[in-house]
Chain A
Amino acid sequence: VADILDAAVAQAQDAGLLRHVYLVVHRGAGAYICGEETALLDSLEGKRGNPRLKPPFPANQGLYQGPTLINNVETLSTVPHIIGMGGDEYAKLGTETSTGTKVVSVSGNVKRPGNYEIELGIPSREIIFGLAGGLEEGRRVKLWFPGGSSAPVLTEEHLDLPYDFDTMAKAGSMLGSGSVIVVDDSNRVLDVALWTARFYRHESCGKCTPCREGTNWTVKMLERIDAGEATPMDLEIMAGIQEQIIGNCLCVLGDSMAMPIGSMIKHFRDEFEEHIEQARMRQERAMVAS
């Protein structure tokens, strides 16, 4: 992607479009946290991409301590359309509170994963079943992340909700990055939780306590559930940990694990309890056999 952007910058320069601007493409070296605005600034300054303490916010003190405006490439990419169509005309797209279009990136158990530009407010079902081609034969949607792996998960019953910022927030999730991850019923919720928690444990910068310890603790507890060493009370503790992470960290990475894990426990408590019970029985049988 960086090569494509570099080539585009070179083209723009050759065409004489960049007379008063200087464009640089800087790579984040693959770190997830470099998407966080202050970690991104540190990364740009050549430091390790760690989130900074806010305030001061980047608009006051950002890159090299100067006031800095940070925007997603996606946001910038809509600017030509807004100017071209006129603001009022563009605002007619989408819903009243979520205007315009959004690029959604559909992945997971769908036939046609990929990026699709949609008008905000279309039914979520339309994205997963229409654009992304639906699931494999005989499979059902077990859960889906409406806005990236850091968004609280939704279930099959939320599929008919319009896909916009307000509705997703009201349903207890968020539109977030617009990356829709679909998980079908051939997957255990425990595996999804483990995958999510392990990812965030790996990506945590380790600076602040709740995120560093909380992600690690959550992974360990999920592994204990899987190994048959957990009790139903552990589920309670795990849900409690998530609550203590949300809002108490230096940046939102901790929340990013706590929100989906918390929502998975909320929506799939029965299944977690079943895993705990089954794994325990498996272990007991193994003990008897040996």
Chain B
Amino acid sequence: MPSDITAHAEATQRRPRAAHMLGQNSGLILAAVILLLSIIGFAGMYWIQQGRLPGNFELTSTVNNTMPLALAALGQTMVVLTRGIDLSVGGIVDLANALAAIWLTGGVLNTIGISVVIVLIGAAAGLINGLLVGLGRLQPIVVTLATLSIFQGLAIRVLPQPGGAVPAGYTDFLVNTNEPTALIFLVIAVLGWMVLRRSRLGVGLFAIGNDEPSAIALGINAMRTKIGAYTIGGALYAVAGLFLAANATAGDATTGDSYTLTSIVAVVLGGVNLFGGRGSAVGAICGAFITTMIVNILFFAHINPLYQSFYEGLFLVVAVVVGGLIGRLVRGAR
């Protein structure tokens, strides 16, 4: 990416390599530090309350509860990298969740087939967003606000009342309640990200997020890249919906709604720049875990759950402000 190359050239003239690396990855490093602090905070709180450190059970339930958000945040990252934003996350999660509760009935092959179909439906929903943004040249925020309404409507049409059932084997496979095996899926996601990052699409994502006109001038197909980003995003939201259904062992066409907001929160906390061009899968996953840890900490601090969103909102603002300040300090004030 041209801008990175020039930035790199400038930086090497002035500062040692380590400082440059720190500057380039400040968002990710900050996310990792916040995550570490929140884990320490949680462990400390837990120790005070329970007289021992959290163990395998706490780890497993935290991982399982975070899976849907981590996947939704990964999808949101794809879109945010292109300087877009996806508000339809909740609708696609809802739709996948509702379909899973209706269609999944048992039988290994059957279950795999249906899961694939649901993910493809999610990808198709994302493709619609992508076509409207990329081909239709419409603003992401209004397009996805409109499609959110459509997908939510479809989800309620599929599953008017909470219910349905997810086979027990499905829950065990995706979110094993005894061991944090779900982490394997996150490792797979990160590996997938590393491949994508080096592909034509991945380079395009960062390029158009940094400077769209230059990227186009250098032969990047901005339209195809955007369509790709929203489509992959849609598929990931659908996977999030499957995990949500597996967690709840049943379906609900509205529980996914909250993922629109929390995926943005996780992405921001994960050091993904909302103005595009900067961010990583690991960061987004860290952001998702931070979001869950905050809820855990508030719970163990005996904070009235009614105040939960107050603290979440406050934390989000403080994290962004402090993160911005630190990022500026690390990169060196000019």
Do these two chains interact? no
Residue positions of A touching B, CB distance < 8 A:
none
